[in-house]
Amino acid sequence: MFVLIVCAIGALIATLVRREANLRRVEVLGLCWGLGTGVAGLMTFSLSFFGARLTTGNVLLSLTGLLALLVVLNAASGGGLNRLWVCLSRKRSGRPMDGCERLLTAVVLFFVVSVFVDALSQPLLTFDSRSNLGIKAKILFYQQSVFAEDFFDADRVVGHPRYPLMVPLSENTLYHFIGRVQDRYGKIVFPLWFASLACLFFDGLRRCFSRRFALLGTALLASLPVFTYNVNGGAAGGHADVPLACFFFGFALSLFGGLHNESNADLWLALLFGAFTIFTKNEGLALCGIAVTVAAIGVGWRRSGRLLLPVVGGVILVIPWFEFCTRLPHTDENYWSALRLAQVGEGLSRLPSVLLAFPVHIFLKPFFWSVLGWSVVVLAAIAAPRRLKSPHDLFLTIPVLYCLLLVLIYLVTPWDPARVIPLSLTRLLTQVCPLALFWVMLEIEALELMPKEWTRQESSASGRLRS
């Protein structure tokens, strides 16, 4: 029931935002869970922030109220509901899938289903999923407020008190539907975010390329060991990194799509996904900052005025969170204030070991990254003569800049980098690996490394991203 209501909210928002475009089924599937959880999370937080108690009645009432409002808005906006119904119920047009496409679809489904089985076959067990996120969901469920004393006592054993509350609020909302804290069922939100990411990835590629090529890219993403196999993280573990990857991928794709095609619908989606990214993990703010800067440089300062909508709108949506944050206790992990020249200078002695950790991790740990790191390097080397000409290089620039930021963070972290890097680097890179893989797929097509009949889009599909 929870999943249905949240997906309905997301699908109706997607229909409302994309008023002028034909919706594709995969697009709706990708957007519905991401938008639904994001809006539900921000809404329940705002309700509590402005004084309402998060009782079961209030949570259910607010969600059904939002659903009813969206139904009315869609009905009033000229056949929104009808378009959604047509999109979801129409039979697939075009040629049937060939053997290769069926195989790739089977690969995607195998890994997505395995993540669902993995998540639902055991309760929350990993350290961060319990101590950072699960405990906050429990506090929210029992205390029914974001102003519970447990969040403000700096001495309490609650991990990362200043982490945003998107994931705990989603778990908490689900607990209200179940009627008690049952973390095995609460974990269903994580594979759904992974499935949502896979759909968004497929849709992103499908905007420009053939179904076979889009399926190949999605199969590569879904089979990345870091999502399916990573014990300290992964899509089933109950950590915030896969939701963040999902939201941030949606943000980056919509942002660049909106800027290149001058599509306001994409910019509205970027606004929403940007706010969700910031509200999911502290790293989200840095990622959005990097993406907006890269986008502004990429499209030129003259056209960058269009960034105002997603940036200003996104910030407005998370103002209550920023305000709430000022009241939360500070810990020794305050990286924003630690990133000062003097402190970075003090950490320079760590630089060789930190710099070495990245290539070792990316290239020599195939049980996390398979050959993703090698693919990026090989394609960058092949494409070197025509560098700075591809607009899609923005998709690689973001992960590279994020890695540089992580290097700085590891220089100033209060923890011993030798201990913290093996525990955290995989998960931090998970947040941007969909973008790196997206760049790999775009580069494969740009360099004509696959036959044109493999990558070329069928004439019936529309190319919105390519400009």
Q: How far apart are CA 407 and CA 447, in angstroms?
A: 31
Q: How far is the CB of 242 from other proteins (least distance, A)?
A: 16
Interhelix angle 2-17/56-76, rounded to 10 degrees, is 30
Instruction: Look at residues 38, 32, 29 and name the one whose alpha carbon lies nearest to residue 13.
Output: 32
Using CB under 8 A, pick the residue from 158, 309, 351, 407 that binds other proteins: 158
Contact pattern from residue 402 through residue 441 relative to other proteins, giving x for each residue in contact according to CB under 8 A and a dash for the rest = ----------------------------------------
Q: How far apart are CA 362 and CA 359, in angstroms?
A: 5
Would you count residue 220 as binding other proteins (CB under 8 A)?
yes
Q: Which among 123-131, 271-279, 405-413, 454-462 is the span making contact with other proteins, rule CB under 8 A?
A: 123-131
Q: How far is the CB of 427 from other proteins (least distance, A)?
A: 15
Using CB under 8 A, pick the residue from 52, 150, 403, 420 that binds other proteins: 150
Q: Which is nearer to other proteins, 365 or 466 (CB)?
A: 365
HSE-up of residue 413 (Cα within 13 Å, Cβ side) = 17
Q: Which is nearer to other proteins, 105 or 131 (CB)?
A: 131
Q: Which among 85-93, 120-128, 403-411, 428-436 is the span making contact with other proteins, rule CB under 8 A?
A: 120-128
Q: Which among 150-158, 256-264, 331-339, 343-351 is the span making contact with other proteins, rule CB under 8 A?
A: 150-158
Q: How far apart are CA 9 and CA 356, in angstroms?
A: 45
Instruction: Look at residues 275, 286, 293, 288 and name the one whose alpha carbon lies nearest to residue 335.
Output: 286
Using CB under 8 A, pick the residue from 19, 49, 97, 156 that binds other proteins: 156
Which residue bears the tokens 């975010």? 193
Which residue bears the tokens 């994020």? 402
Q: Which is nearer to other proteins, 181 or 296 (CB)?
A: 181
Would you count residue 209 as binding other proteins (CB under 8 A)?
no
Q: Which among 25-33, 93-101, 151-159, 162-170 is the span making contact with other proteins, rule CB under 8 A?
A: 151-159
Q: How far is the CB of 228 from other proteins (least distance, A)?
A: 6
Q: Which is nearer to other proteins, 141 or 251 (CB)?
A: 141
Q: How far apart are CA 339 and CA 409, in angstroms?
A: 7
Q: How far apart are CA 240 and CA 103, in angstroms?
A: 30
Centre a 10 Å sphere on the Cβ of residue 360 and count the other Cβ atoms it contains.
Answer: 12
Contact partners, residue 290, CB within 8 Å, separation at least 6: 398, 401, 402, 405
Residues 332-371 close enough to bind other proteins by CB under 8 A: 366-367, 370-371
Would you count residue 294 as binding other proteins (CB under 8 A)?
no
- Judge contact between 221 and 273, C-beta under 8 A: no
- Judge contact between 160 and 333, C-beta under 8 A: yes
Q: How far apart are CA 128 and CA 408, in angstroms?
A: 23
Which residue bears the tokens 């994580």? 190
52: helix, strand or coil: coil
The answer to whether the Cα torsion of 129, 133, 138, 141 is positive or negative is negative
Residues 165-204 close enough to bind other proteins by CB under 8 A: 183-184
Number of residues that bind other proteins (CB under 8 A): 45
Q: Tell me how far the alpha carbon of residue 106 is from its chain's centroid.
A: 24
Instruction: Look at residues 246, 213, 225, 227 and name the one whose alpha carbon lies nearest to residue 463.
Output: 213
Would you count residue 462 as binding other proteins (CB under 8 A)?
no
Q: How far is the CB of 217 from other proteins (least distance, A)?
A: 12
Contact pattern from residue 224 through residue 253 relative to other proteins, giving x for each residue in contact according to CB under 8 A and a dash for the rest = -x--xx-xx---------------------
Q: How far apart are CA 81 and CA 89, in angstroms?
A: 12
Instruction: Look at residues 433, 30, 75, 4 and name the one whose alpha carbon lies nearest to residue 250.
Output: 30
Q: Which is nearer to other proteins, 246 or 440 (CB)?
A: 440
Using CB under 8 A, pick the residue from 218, 375, 413, 455 that binds other proteins: 375
Q: Which among 222-230, 240-248, 328-336, 457-465 is the span making contact with other proteins, rule CB under 8 A?
A: 222-230
Q: Which is nearer to other proteins, 422 or 463 (CB)?
A: 422
Would you count residue 152 as binding other proteins (CB under 8 A)?
no
CA dihedral defined by 255, 260, 264, 268, rounded to 10 degrees? 0
Q: Which is nearer to other proteins, 108 or 245 (CB)?
A: 108
Q: Which is nearer to other proteins, 121 or 343 (CB)?
A: 121
Would you count residue 122 as binding other proteins (CB under 8 A)?
yes
- Judge contact between 236 and 183, C-beta under 8 A: no
Residues in the chain, total: 467
Would you count residue 135 as binding other proteins (CB under 8 A)?
yes
- Rule CB under 8 A: which residues touch other proteins? 110, 114, 117-118, 121-125, 127, 130-131, 134-135, 138-139, 142, 150, 153, 155-159, 183-184, 220, 223, 225, 228-229, 231-232, 366-367, 370-371, 374-375, 378, 382, 444, 447, 449-450
